[in-house]
Amino acid sequence: MPLHTRPILLGKLQIDSMNNKIDWKETDLTTSYDLSTTVSVMTEYGHTILDAIVSAMTSKSTASGLGITYSWSFETNGKVTIEADSNMFYLKLTTSETSKILTGGDGFVGSQGSESFGFTIQSAYPAYNTSFQGDDQIAHSFFPNYPPATDSGNQYEFTTATGRTIGGQTTTYLFSETNFSALENVSKKTLGFRRMNEEAYNSYIKYFLPYALQGNPNGIFAYIEDSTVLSSYEERYLFENSLTAFTPTRTNDLVSWSFDITSIPKV
């Protein structure tokens, strides 16, 4: 029986001088303002960076524009929507702008970088609107279309090696997968996702798995158990078969997928 909430798995994105800028234009249909601002260099989870983006946009609009308050949200498929609370605006995402944060840097029309928030580089500016949504989901993320059908919880187990002395005495050595210098147990969680549609399956194998296969520390992700409460998450990374051999199963109806994700917490 499915759990009550749908989780999100979010990896970190790297923001530097090549992808830390956002340009946009505001209007009240009488006066228009061309605005630009930057976000601090950081390597953080996508939702944290999005908070920084809309905060910077709001501050710039207050100081030099129409005083618009900007906000953002995730769609259920992982696409990002940026919205104004009043008046209208449009995002400037053409090749004329540089260091574009929403597209993951610069490139050619229709492209986006590896650290993209799902927006692609445009050939021209769009019409004014109150909100804009990305073309694809945010990078390094998994957005399932259903909650996991099974959740093992945190299974505590020991990673051990057994040796035998010349005299026949057996000695068991305890190790930790997360910190080899510490003798501690491993908290393993396996989520069983069933009947994932093609979009959710591609979300995992295209957007999340290449990032997460880097393991610890470069593949650390935020496990957000309840997609409606982004502020509550646990840092984890893939473990066992999820790290070494992804084995999805195609369902009999050939329209959905099933697979498990096993992870352990960052320590």
Q: What is the pLDDT of residues 25-41, one digit of tens each?
A: 999 999 999 999 999 99
List all residues 6 or more positions away from 226 whose beta carbon is below 8 Å from its beta carbon: 5, 6, 7, 232
Q: Are strands 170-175 and 159-164 parallel, antiparallel or unpaired?
A: antiparallel
Q: Please give the C-alpha separations between residue 248 and each of 6, 28, 68, 153, 256, in angstroms, as whole numbers.
A: 19, 51, 46, 21, 10
- Asked if residue 14 and residue 129 are part of one domain, the reply reads yes
- Asked if residue 122 and residue 15 are part of one domain, the reply reads yes
- Asked if residue 134 and residue 225 are part of one domain, the reply reads no
Boundary-marking domain end, from 98, 118, 141: 141
Which residue's structure tokens are 């992808």? 19
Q: Please give the C-alpha separations between residue 116 and each of 31, 35, 51, 102, 157, in angstroms, as whole numbers.
A: 31, 21, 15, 6, 37
The pLDDT, as a whole number, for residue 181 is 39
Structure-block tokens of residue 13: 């994105």
Instruction: Give one word for 104, left, alpha or beta, with left for phi > 0 and alpha for psi -120 to 50.
Output: left
* Mean pLDDT, range 214-226, rounded to an integer: 94
In a domain, residue 2? The reply is no
The pLDDT-based confidence of 196 (bands split at 50, 70, 90) is very high
In a domain, residue 74? The reply is yes
Q: Whole domain around residue 119: which residue ranges?
A: 10-141
- Asked if residue 159 and residue 46 are part of one domain, the reply reads no
The pLDDT-based confidence of 170 (bands split at 50, 70, 90) is very low
Q: Please give the C-alpha separations between residue 206 and each of 21, 149, 193, in angstroms, as whole numbers.
A: 26, 22, 16
Q: Where are the beta strands (DSSP E) in 183-233?
A: 186-196, 221-224
- Asked if residue 42 and residue 69 are part of one domain, the reply reads yes
- Asked if residue 135 and residue 26 are part of one domain, the reply reads yes
The pLDDT, as a whole number, for residue 47 is 97
List all residues 6 or more positions away from 181 whose beta carbon is below 8 Å from its beta carbon: none
Asked if the model's pLDDT at residue 168 lies above 50, the reply is no
Q: Please give the C-alpha separations between residue 176 and each of 25, 97, 235, 243, in angstroms, as whole numbers.
A: 52, 48, 17, 16
- Mapping DSSP to helix (H, G, I), strand (E, B) and coil, where does residue 232 land? coil
Euclidean distance between CA atoms 177 and 253, whole angstroms: 38
* Mean pLDDT, range 106-116, rounded to an integer: 97
In a domain, residue 4? The reply is no
- Asked if residue 167 and residue 132 are part of one domain, the reply reads no
In a domain, residue 213? The reply is yes
Asked if the model's pLDDT at residue 148 lies above 70, the reply is yes
- Asked if residue 231 and residue 137 are part of one domain, the reply reads no
The pLDDT, as a whole number, for residue 155 is 54
The pLDDT-based confidence of 171 (bands split at 50, 70, 90) is very low
Boundary-marking domain end, from 102, 123, 141: 141
Boundary-marking domain end, from 141, 159, 180: 141
Structure-block tokens of residue 94: 């053409």
Asked if the model's pLDDT at residue 147 lies above 80, the reply is yes
* Mean pLDDT, range 217-239, rounded to an integer: 95
Q: Please give the C-alpha separations between residue 186 and each of 162, 177, 179, 189, in angstroms, as whole numbers.
A: 17, 7, 10, 10
The pLDDT, as a whole number, for residue 143 is 98
Rg of the chain (C-alpha set): 22
Asked if the model's pLDDT at residue 217 lies above 70, the reply is yes
Indicate the pTM of the whole model: 0.86
In a domain, residue 1? The reply is no
Euclidean distance between CA atoms 124 and 139, whole angstroms: 23
The pLDDT-based confidence of 179 (bands split at 50, 70, 90) is very low
The pLDDT-based confidence of 154 (bands split at 50, 70, 90) is low
What total number of domains does the chain contain? 2
Residue type at 198 in one-letter notation = E
Structure-block tokens of residue 233: 């998450």
- Asked if residue 35 and residue 105 are part of one domain, the reply reads yes
